Amino acid sequence: MRRALWSALHLVGATLFLVLIALRAASAGAPPATADLAIGAFADTCTVRGLTAEAADGRMRDFVAAEGGVGLPFRLEFYDITLQPTTLQVTPGTDRRCEVAFPGDHTAPATEALLALMARPPVFGTPIPLPITHSPAPGTAFIEGRQLNPRVAAVVHVGIRDTDAGPETFLNVERLKPEVAQ
């Protein structure tokens, strides 16, 4: 009787172990979530100076590929008018914008990732009052002005907005023109 009980327990334990291994293998092969790719690509790219729109796009595509994704499964909007002209609508008072947007409400992880990014060296400036060029919009989860150095300031913004396809989360940083940053 005891022997049969131990054999049954051993069989149950081995079966559970194999099920867990199979589940882990299945999840390891699954493509990364779009939100995770967008948030990671934002952190990897949007605070890097000297990028053109093409360089930012390429850097994000490289990040996505390294994470097991394909292409850009999220929307990227990037300009730096100090380096090249743009056809995008430029936010008044800014000269650079980097934004990723992706389906669903992922404002909590996007905000957590942004706060972590701003806290790690090199520190992403210090908090300042929002400039008159920016204000919280409906759906804003986080918005903050940041003084990057004595001449340069930026605004970081996380929120959700409605689109024809449903809600989308956005995460952006806009660099203010020096005369606005003062």
For CA atoms 134, 135, 137, 143, give the dihedral sign.
positive
Residue 111: the pLDDT is 96
Pairing of strands 153-163, 140-147: antiparallel
Higher local confidence (pLDDT), 144 or 12: 144
First to last CA, the chain: 83
Residue 155: Cβ within 10 Å count: 23
Q: What's the DSSP call for residue 48?
A: -
Q: Has residue 124 got a pLDDT over 70?
A: yes
Read off the tokens for 141: 């989860």
Q: Which of 26-30, 53-57, 97-101, 177-181 has the lowest mean pLDDT?
A: 26-30
Any idea where the domains of the chain sit in the sequence? 1-30, 34-181
Residue 55: the pLDDT is 98
Q: Has residue 123 got a pLDDT over 90?
A: no
176: number of CA atoms within 13 Å, CB side? 24
Taking CA atoms, 71 is separated from 7, 33, 57, 88, 125, in Å, by 51, 13, 10, 21, 32
Q: Has residue 79 got a pLDDT over 70?
A: yes
Q: Has residue 95 got a pLDDT over 80?
A: yes
104 contacts: CB under 8 Å, gap ≥ 6? 35, 166, 167, 168, 169
Q: Which of 62-66, 87-91, 123-127, 171-175 has the lowest mean pLDDT?
A: 123-127
The whole-number average pLDDT for the span 90-115 is: 95
Residue 181: the pLDDT is 61
What does the pLDDT look like over 13-55, one tens digit per residue? 323 222 333 333 344 456 689 999 999 999 999 999 999 999 9
